Structure 1
Amino acid sequence: MAKFDPNESFELERYNPEWPQHFEEECHLIEEALGDHVLELNHIGSTSIPGMRAKPIIDIQLVVEAFAPIEEYERLLSGLGYHLHAHKDFDQRDHLFFWKGEPRTHHLHVSEYATWEHYRYLLFRDYLCKHPEMAQQYQAIKQELADAFKAKRPAYTKGKTAFIESVVAYALEELGDE
């Protein structure tokens, strides 16, 4: 059985203009496997932001109307090579997380429609796409953290949290002004 290694080493790579195409190709496979479970598929994470250095892992948000039993997603996605990440600190009531590849190539985040988990990823992505200066700040933070925590993904991820939350707050504020 494949094992999710939270301390798998990583490097940030230059933006690859093929990442959106990789996203589209994977979406086609997911739609075929999950059928009517799929409400939306969104390209999220750093590979969705043009010009952003990123780990070469395509983050995909699968939006569903309502969660099916976890076992159903596991059964349908296992044929594509996805594995459920279950961890004591991971709340599976509002978000499911699957991963694929060794080394990892894809992350699949399953969220219910019209929930905070659904919207926050899109708010973050869209704000950084609209505000390149904030995207540059995020890239600098990511690089600093990647240099410090090359084989400690949890520390790398935790180090980004405050910036991500501030960007989402700015995005909400901007929406309120429109």
Structure 2
Amino acid sequence: MTRTIEIVPYDPAWPAEFAALAARLRPALADAVRIDHIGSTSVPGLDAKPVIDVQISVPALTPDDAFRIPLEGLGFRYRRDNPDLSKRYFREPEGARRVHIHVRRAGSLDEQLNLVFRDFLRARPDTARRYARTKRELAARHPHDGQAYTEGKGPFIWATLRQAAAWAQETGWEPGPDRAQGPDRTDGVSPR
């Protein structure tokens, strides 16, 4: 079955869906340093594919038993064929709502890039709107080609990461609670 790439308007329920998922994950992942909502569904107002992306930061990717066994126990499917060696990748249980779990080493470049990209888009709604337009154009151009869609986002993402790096220096950015949504809200679930 060919999946159609669909970009939908932001759904304010996405943060709550992440929070419910994180509440299931945290008890099973004692070694996780943090669990974060990343990707487009984590940016208020940003149109996105309706997929909840979760980043689980762990002390090390090998051996993988400390996170693989608990995630598989919750029904998540380990994608051993993922070519990105900077993470371990899991998908939702069969028949469940679409979820991508990215397990990365805490403090790694890729872990930090995902967090600063998210936080920069939250702080810059104009950039988030440009990103939404880019994604809609690519989805229209490549509705059944996920690889072309993903590769097409690359130039925008890398240009935005350059801006985000400067912004991080100017603001003293550090990954942490979602300051943009108030002190009582967080998209990062810290250890118990």
- Do the two structures share a fold, i.e. TM-score over 0.5? yes
Q: 5+ unaligned residues in a row in structure 1: which ranges? A: none
How far residue 81 of structure 1 moved from its aligned partner, in angstroms, is 2.2
Q: How does 1:16-165 map to 2 (within 5 A)?
A: 16-34=11-29, 36-87=30-81, 90-92=83-85, 94-101=86-93, 102=95, 105-165=98-158
Taking structure 1 as reference, are residues 137 and 47 closer, same or farther at Cα in structure 2, changes over 3 Å only? Answer: same
The amino acid across from 2:92 in the alignment is K
How far residue 10 of structure 1 moved from its aligned partner, in angstroms, is 2.9
Q: How many corresponding residue pairs?
A: 170
- Normalising by structure 1, we get a TM-score of 0.87
Q: Percent identity of the aligned residues?
A: 32
- Normalising by structure 2, we get a TM-score of 0.81
Contact between 2:38 and 2:118, CA under 8 Å: does it hold in 1? Answer: yes
Q: 5+ unaligned residues in a row in structure 2: which ranges? A: 172-192
Q: CA RMSD in A?
A: 1.8
Comparing 64-73 with 14-23, which one deviates more in the overlay?
64-73
Deviations 1:102-127 (A, max 9, x none): 47611111111111011000111111
Alignment partners' CA distance in 1, 2:66 and 2:105: 15
Deviations 1:111-157 (A, max 9, x none): 11111011000111111111111111100000001111111111111
Alignment partners' CA distance in 2, 1:103 and 1:143: 25
Alignment partners' CA distance in 2, 1:37 and 1:176: 30
